[in-house]
Amino acid sequence: MRLIFEKGKKGRCGIKIPKSDVPSREFPSRYKRKKDPPLPELSELDVVRHFTRLSQLNFCVDTNFYPLGSCTMKYNPKFTEQVERISGFSNLHPLLSYISEEAVQGALEVIYETERLLCEITGMDEFTTQPLAGAHGELTGLLLISAYHRYKENKKRYVIVPDSSHGTNPASSSTCGYETIVIPTDKDGCMDLRLYKERLSDSVAAVMLTCPNTLGIFNPHIKEVCDLAHSVGALMYYDGANLNAILGKVRPGDVGFDVVHLNLHKTFSTPHGGGGPGSGPVGVKGEICNFLPIPRIIKKDGVFRLDFNRPNSIGHISPFFGNFSVILKTYAYIMLLGREGLISVSEHAVLNANYIRARLKGYYELPYDRICMHECVFSASRQKRYGIRALDIAKYLIDKGFHPPTIYFPTVVKEALMIEPTETESKETLDRFISAMVEIANLAKERPQALKDAPKTTPVKRLDEVKAAREPKLRWEG
């Protein structure tokens, strides 16, 4: 497929811009280009066909299996997209709520009720829906923890994370001025409890955990981990990226977590990826509620209001309505499924992951051979004996019509293949994927070059990775 620059022909025009009927002013010279950019000239039909064709090349969860662990790249019902388009919501101006609360009571109620629902699901006391992504939620959570310790005049210096954590955990910790203590993974795939006890001290501000972790394993000692943290005045932070595995089964607040961030765009009905949209609400318990961002939405005498009178608040994280369209879809998704439906989500996600784990463990190394939760993590170390890496497996899956799973993460597993089937995929789809993985395992031994040559069915074939990294071409050259 040719680039749109290559399709352009001088003199072609797809649009005629009307003559301006408003007074014009000379643009400051310092902002002017010395010459016009070399843009292609095309007809309307050229443009329509080009971008329609591009859209047909997209790989998406609506067309094929997308087992990208730990991002929960799952299918979401079109019902929530219809709710998002209701004109009473989609036509609201964001600033109208600051001018007239009465004019946006429906939208305020959606945010207020969504926060209540998230509290019930996670066992938290209050939620803020302001954060615009998971990492933004992490930052908000650490800011809340920092504000709490300052208010208490606690001298804290460290945040503990396991070595299997998401990279944003230590990044958020560092941004808030803390040093990170990394605890290795033990033989069972969990944070080493003995080493955790050794490193825990009065100087620890928080312990950040994903539960189940990025290996898809639920820590059986999680209650003890929380109790130990609290014994030294540390707070427990729950990275909610993997909440999809425990909906309706475990509430983080019930086992001892004090701060929670969720990824609404993963768990509650917004297809994740492509740079957004995202939403990373944060829930808290007890005294930490006093530090939540302002304004808070409160309900008084049946009317929803914005409350700015929170003297200990950490301030504004984003506009109070956050990413409202994602929040709205989340509200619709939860109300559609209800309690039993959310429980079914986690049960089927866990069942599907364990089905793949059991079917493939005879073909791929399984570093932690335990019942997993929503995702299973294999290693391509067996295939590496024949010169095949996780990357080669991922490339060949593209030719078989599947999006590759996450590779090389978590980093505690060499040649990692993290597979998350989610709850929405049928047994037939899983069986086709399993057959492709078995075929790959056999090819690695019999015809490894076939894997190294993949993909062959895509517009762009296998790239020279080293050259692409060292000599990137970031713009078209005519």
- CA geometry: angle 35, 40, 43, nearest 5 deg: 135
Mean pLDDT of 438-451: 98
Q: Which CB contacts under 8 angstroms, 24+ apart, belong to 386-394?
A: 386/444, 386/445, 386/448, 387/448, 387/452, 388/444, 388/448, 388/451, 388/452, 389/415, 390/415, 390/416, 390/417, 392/448, 392/451, 392/452, 392/454, 393/417, 393/437, 393/440, 393/444, 393/451
Residues 179-202 pLDDT 10s: 999 999 999 999 999 999 999 999
Mean pLDDT of 204-219: 96
pTM: 0.91
- CA geometry: angle 295, 299, 311, nearest 5 deg: 35
Domains of the chain in start order, with CATH, are 78-337 (3.40.640.10), 345-468 (3.90.1150.10)
Residues 6-27 pLDDT 10s: 999 999 998 888 988 999 888 8
Which positions ≥6 away from 278 have C-beta within 8 Å?
Answer: 132, 133, 134, 136, 263, 264, 265, 270, 272, 323, 326
Residue 308: per-residue pLDDT: 95
Residue 477: per-residue pLDDT: 75
Residues 151-186 pLDDT 10s: 999 999 999 999 999 889 999 999 999 999 999 999
Residues 38-62 pLDDT 10s: 889 999 999 999 999 998 888 888 8
Residues 300-328 pLDDT 10s: 999 999 999 999 999 999 999 999 999 99
Share of the chain residues as helix, strand and coil, in percent rounded to the nearest 5: 40, 10, 45
Residues 64-89 pLDDT 10s: 899 987 567 788 888 998 999 999 99
Residue 183: phi, psi to the nearest 5?
-105, 130
Q: pLDDT band at residue 478, thresholds of 50, 70 and 90?
A: low
Mean pLDDT of 116-139: 96
Mean pLDDT of 231-244: 96
CA pseudo-torsion sign 199, 200, 205, 211: positive
As a whole-number percent, the residues of the chain with pLDDT over 90 amount to: 79
- Look at residue 161 and give its three-state secondary structure: strand
Residue 1: per-residue pLDDT: 83
Residue 155: per-residue pLDDT: 94
Residue 269: per-residue pLDDT: 82
Residue 274: per-residue pLDDT: 57
Q: pLDDT band at residue 28, thresholds of 50, 70 and 90?
A: confident
pLDDT of 35 > 90? The answer is no
Mean pLDDT of 411-436: 96
Mean pLDDT of 423-450: 97
Residue 409: per-residue pLDDT: 93
Residues 263-301 pLDDT 10s: 998 899 876 555 567 899 999 999 999 999 999 999 999
d(CA 366, CA 419): 12
